[in-house]
Amino acid sequence: MFSTLFVCGQAGQRSVNGVNLFFQRSGDGQHTVLLLPGALGSAQTDFAPQLEKLDKRRFTLVAFDPRGYGRSRPPDRDFPPDFFHRDAKDAVDLMQALGLRRFSLLGWSDGGITALIAAALNPALVQKMVVWGSNAYVSQEDVQIYQCETERENSRAKYQSQGIS
């Protein structure tokens, strides 16, 4: 199922690993690139300029909202100990579900961490990789920060659904 979201591409959802993942796709070039957003980001907030401006004859771009972010809700975002591995599996499995067998990764912040894991676990699928603003490991303090952000985001959503701002 595809629907036009922005002038130069398509958007939709695919069921992957038990959740519906939202994605945007732009271009039809030979070099496929998966764009992985940072913490609390989405395809649109983190990669709108790339989806719009990169050469569509050269690149096929796919950006997605990881589970619990943006338009990949429900479920609400959670942070079990293996959430980066889960995100990496979701990302790779989404590309496979879209019929995109080999691709490059472009990851920002948490998306960069996810890209590193995806490439490490699937080297035969990844052509190239660019990451920035990413950690090489996750500390216990990082996990606590993510949990606080999740609670804050869930509270905000609850109040908004009740008409309280």
For residue 24, give the H/E element and its range.
strand 19-26
Split at pLDDT 50, 70, 90, the class of 129 is very high
**Average pLDDT along the chain:** 90
Domain residue ranges of the chain, discontinuous segments joined by +:
2-136
Asked whether the predicted pLDDT for residue 5 surpasses 60, the reply is no
Quick one: 2-136 is in which CATH superfamily? Alpha/Beta hydrolase fold, catalytic domain (3.40.50.1820)
pLDDT tens profile 62-93: 999 999 999 999 999 998 889 999 999 999 99
Q: What is the pTM of this model?
A: 0.79
pLDDT tens profile 101-124: 999 999 999 999 999 999 999 999
Burial letters for 70-101: b for 16+ Cβ neighbours within 10 Å, e otherwise? bbbbeeebebeeebbebbbbbbbebbeebebe
**49 Cβ contact list (under 8 Å, min separation 6):** none
